[in-house]
Structure 1
Amino acid sequence: MNPRTTFRTVSSLVAVAIAASACGGGDSLALRTGGTPSATPPPVTLPTLPPPQERHPESFNEGGCWWDRDDWVCPATEDVTVESSPSPDALKTLRGFIGPYYNVEERSSSVEVQGSTVSAAADGAWRASGLVRNEMSVSVGQITVHAVLKTAAGAILAHESALSPVAPVRPGEPAPFEIAADVDASFVADVEWDVGVAAVSGGVHARDTEIMVDWRVPYGDRERMREDPPEGPYPFVMGGSVASMAREPIERPVVIVAWLDASGRVASIDQRPLMDIHDNATAEPLRPDDIGRFLVVEDDPSIARDLIDLEYMIWTTHRD
């Protein structure tokens, strides 16, 4: 069971800097950038991908038919990158992002911890993971999540902070975080969350990619793959590729993956470097129009055995 969570306003962080650098759930209340939030935040648009005919012209013939591995499909099936679900939190495939919770419709002019996505340890050392979401009308830079851990009587056990690995974060976009404390989780009855943000300082082009998940195999006793150890049980493996649509090289590109449990809470987060498509060298940099690959391998059975059945979210960004 998760401890009770409290979300309170932070009102003094980089309001002017964020505005100048615009580059265009559960209970949650974290960062306000000064004043009363607008009842109707200015509209923003999703960073949608170009049509598939532009992204993959080699897969289409002159008649507009699409090659689907074994045969031509005529007419080509519609490329669905934004779900038609009435829920604005539904799955989306966008530039530099795959997953749910990217929501440009329901915003509050703040950067918020999404309480319904937070999972916390009930025993052992306290740790938690979840999502924040930028509900402002401009992109933000590095996001810092702060947690104050308290007992049932209100005594403070610890103050902890952690950075989200994704930056910059665009309007409406969620970003993952993990945070831990050297405190027995059984003592934690209340967590008070704050969020701080920095202005965008670069790396915007690192988000301008197309992410493709090519294959996944489960943990356990299955057919051995080239990447597997000599003997089983074999790990969970996810393989995919990333195509750059940026106009300049992406230095130190990485892929961030978060898995959601059946209730929508973040169960696990992983970070992997982008590799050269031809060998095991890191793709540094990923040049315009180039493609890199990623491989997520998890062999801890307490985590790996469930990953094949969990919904996932993926981001591309860069390491500082």
Structure 2
Amino acid sequence: ALALPLLSLTACGDVDNNDPAAGVAAARPAAEPLSSGRAPTLPKPPEPADEAAAPTLMPGEPDTADGGVFLGYVGEWYAQPRAGGDVVVLADAVRQASGPGRWRVNGLVRNEGLRDVTSVTVTARVRGSAAQDLATVSTQVPISPLRPGEPAPFQVQAAVSGSAVESVEWSVQATPVAASTARVRRIELTPAWEQPYGQRPRHDGYPLTDPRKTPYPYALFGSVESQSKAALTDVQVWAAYLDEQRRVVHVARVPLTGPGSAQRLEPGGTVDFLYTTDDPQLAPRLAGASRILWAQGS
């Protein structure tokens, strides 16, 4: 479905500054660069029948000026933090589902301050004609901590018709972290390959076994490796897919797979991830689309 533009969109941030150290933290790099130059030892995709059917290999660096590859992050929309910056909704990354169905939005927030934050909550005040309040809804951002300059995905919906929405006022609440908890983000992400939805060579074996009949699902495969000095638990990988205007069209938690996929990652440990979908409305749009990946533990 095509997106309906929001007629009025206010992006604002509201970070709790009750912490006595707020505003005096020294500037530091937004995230740690990758420390490993290893080549991934990952299963290869199936051999294509011809060059046109070849899977899209993932680049090591995005081709955008404000993107980056950091521990726990691969993608665009990263930016330099600044003194006095808040956590804000990125209006240009917001995409609203169209049509008369339930109002739904995918989007990104970004930490534009100088400190890690946690407990990031996005609130949408949804208005109809004549600025009538239709609903106020909130959602929790799944990435924590959110580092200086880093974006993170959100999804929010309200029990109102999307066609009745004229404007949305956004606000964000977040809690600054007094001491860095960035070790839980010290995870190297290595996207390896993706397979398009539909007609293509069938994959039969680890990590992807396609159904016997087409259309075959879209698939994204890769691995993570812990760079933390302590064991990590509840390891998660998240993905956000962007359209041509860099708006978020889909957000998903990516399942871990294969040996070592238990929810504990020892220092230097690795685990694979595999995301698939056979949704005929969504899957054809994902192969080759820009995407952002996050990894985190606890």
Q: Does the TM-score normalized on the shorter chain lie above 0.5?
A: yes
Identify if the C-alpha distance between structure 1 residues 98 and 18 changes in structure 2 by more than 3 Å, giving closer, same or farther.
Answer: farther
Q: Percent identity?
A: 30
Describe how 1:218-297 pairs up with structure 2 within 5 A: 218-226=196-204, 227-275=209-257, 277-278=258-259, 282-297=261-276
Amino acid in structure 2 at the alignment position of 1:5: S
State whether residues 107 and 172 of structure 1, in contact with CA within 8 Å, keep that contact through their aligned partners in structure 2: no
Q: Please say if 1:121 is aligned against 2:97.
A: yes
- Per-residue CA distance 1:241-294 (angstroms, 9 max, x = gap): 00100111111101000001000000101102433x52xx63320111000110
State whether residues 127 and 168 of structure 2, in contact with CA within 8 Å, keep that contact through their aligned partners in structure 1: yes
Q: Please say if 1:181 is aligned against 2:150.
A: no
Partner of 1:141: 118
Partner of 1:112: 88
Describe how 1:35-54 pairs up with structure 2 within 5 A: 43-52=27-36
Structure with the bigger RCO (C-alpha within 8 Å, sep 6+) is 2
CA distance in 2 between counterparts of 1:112 and 1:58 reads: 35
Amino acid in structure 2 at the alignment position of 1:170: R
| 1:15 corresponds to which of 17, 22, 26 | 17
SS at match of 1:198: strand
CA distance in 2 between counterparts of 1:10 and 1:47 reads: 21
Identify if the C-alpha distance between structure 1 residues 8 and 287 changes in structure 2 by more than 3 Å, giving closer, same or farther.
Answer: same
Identify if the C-alpha distance between structure 1 residues 57 and 97 changes in structure 2 by more than 3 Å, giving closer, same or farther.
Answer: closer
CA distance in 2 between counterparts of 1:6 and 1:84 reads: 28
CA distance in 1 between counterparts of 2:293 and 2:225 reads: 14
State whether residues 49 and 210 of structure 1, in contact with CA within 8 Å, keep that contact through their aligned partners in structure 2: no
Identify if the C-alpha distance between structure 1 residues 128 and 8 changes in structure 2 by more than 3 Å, giving closer, same or farther.
Answer: closer
State whether residues 110 and 151 of structure 2, in contact with CA within 8 Å, keep that contact through their aligned partners in structure 1: yes
CA distance in 1 between counterparts of 2:291 and 2:196 reads: 14
CA distance in 1 between counterparts of 2:280 and 2:126 reads: 29
SS at match of 2:225: strand
Unaligned runs of 5+ in 2: 42-58
What root-mean-square deviation, in Å, do the aligned CA atoms of Structure 1 and Structure 2 show?
2.8
Partner of 1:66: none
State whether residues 253 and 273 of structure 1, in contact with CA within 8 Å, keep that contact through their aligned partners in structure 2: no
Partner of 1:3: 6
Amino acid in structure 1 at the alignment position of 2:202: R
- Per-residue CA distance 1:20-68 (angstroms, 9 max, x = gap): 7xxxxxxxxxxxx8xxxx9xx964314233454xx43999xxxxxxxxx
Identify if the C-alpha distance between structure 1 residues 305 and 82 changes in structure 2 by more than 3 Å, giving closer, same or farther.
Answer: closer
State whether residues 87 and 109 of structure 2, in contact with CA within 8 Å, keep that contact through their aligned partners in structure 1: yes
| 2:291 corresponds to which of 285, 304, 312 | 312
Amino acid in structure 1 at the alignment position of 2:277: E
State whether residues 203 and 318 of structure 1, in contact with CA within 8 Å, keep that contact through their aligned partners in structure 2: no
CA distance in 1 between counterparts of 2:108 and 2:282 reads: 19
| 1:160 corresponds to which of 129, 134, 137 | 137
CA distance in 2 between counterparts of 1:106 and 1:168 reads: 18
Describe how 1:89-104 pairs up with structure 2 within 5 A: 89=66, 91-104=67-80
| 1:170 corresponds to which of 147, 150, 170 | 147
Identify if the C-alpha distance between structure 1 residues 50 and 9 changes in structure 2 by more than 3 Å, giving closer, same or farther.
Answer: closer
Say how many residue pairs are matched: 272
CA distance in 2 between counterparts of 1:115 and 1:58 reads: 36
CA distance in 1 between counterparts of 2:189 and 2:236 reads: 12
Unaligned runs of 5+ in 1: 21-32, 60-79
Partner of 1:212: 190
Q: What TM-score do you get using the length of structure 1 for normalisation?
A: 0.77
Q: What TM-score do you get using the length of structure 2 for normalisation?
A: 0.82
SS at match of 1:153: helix
